Amino acid sequence: MGGGEWGPGCVFDADLLAASGAREVVVLPTAAAYEHPGRAVEDATRSFAGMGATVRGLEVLQRRDALDPDAAAVVAGARFVYLSGGSPLHLRSVLKETPVWEALVAAWEGGAVVAGSSAGAMVLCDPMIDPRGGAYTVGLGLVENLAVLPHAGADLADAHRRSFELAGEGLVLAAVAEETALMRDPDGSWRVAGAGSVRVFVDGRERGLEALPG
């Protein structure tokens, strides 16, 4: 998602919930650790309650939390894990090479739904865009050779000029609007849902969804 998680345009959350087969969503407000993480969990709880589901907020806010085997066990047993927006650099530093991250990868490989919004989406990919200047840095790599530009609006070329200039050859950039999801199905195909649009670029040229990693 490009941001604005759990807003009125996020109609795709119902599809993700159905795909997970679960009635509970595990929300990691890690990226929002310094921006009212409890509020993120409250927003998710309110949104998913309308779909008949509950939310379990997992307070993995610092690196020591991500090293906790109990927290890792919760993630490992989840069928739907949702990473909120906030700071991608903080989220990466907390999760990188920890039991919680390993549990998330194992859950995803086992068929669980993993969703990330804004910072959450950026960090799931590798490389990821450094918000401090638009250059590229290492992401966590659940999806490789894909970088996400969140909060993408009409001023895309100006707002992300440096990211376009520094993109390596063959790197796929996905510019995702708020309350919009770029969704990868189990067969590796991609689709777009929500209130806005997704634009895909390779080598500075706009392409279709077929250019996304399989």
Cα 138 to Cα 87, 121, 128, 182, distances in angstroms = 14, 13, 6, 21
Residue 37 burial by Cβ neighbours in a 10 Å radius (0-12, 13-18, 19+): buried
Answer yes or no: are the C-beta atoms of 83 and 120 closer than 8 Å. Answer: yes
For 213: left if phi > 0, alpha if psi spans -120 to 50, otherwise beta; the answer is beta
pLDDT at 90 over 90: yes
Output the average pLDDT for the chain.
Answer: 95
CATH of 12-211, one of 3.40.50.920, 3.40.50.880, 3.20.20.140, 3.50.50.60: 3.40.50.880
Q: Give the sign of the dihedral formed by CA 182, CA 185, CA 190, CA 191.
A: negative
Q: How confident is the model at residue 207 (pLDDT cuts 50, 70, 90)?
A: very high
The yes-or-no verdict on residue 214 having pLDDT over 90 is no
State pTM to two decimals. Answer: 0.94
Cα–Cα distance measured from residue 146 to residue 176, given in angstroms and rounded to the nearest whole number: 12
**What does 183-212 look like in DSSP terms, one character per residue?**
EE-TTS-EEEEESS-EEEEETTEEE-GGGS
Convert the pLDDT of each residue in 154-204 to its tens digit: 777 666 788 888 888 999 999 999 999 999 999 999 999 999 999 999 988
Both structure tokens of 17: 């919930």
pLDDT digits (tens, 9 = 90+) for 11-46: 999 999 999 999 999 999 999 999 999 999 999 999
What is residue 159's predicted lDDT score, i.e. its pLDDT?
A: 67
Does residue 57 contact residue 38 with C-beta atoms inside 8 Å?
yes
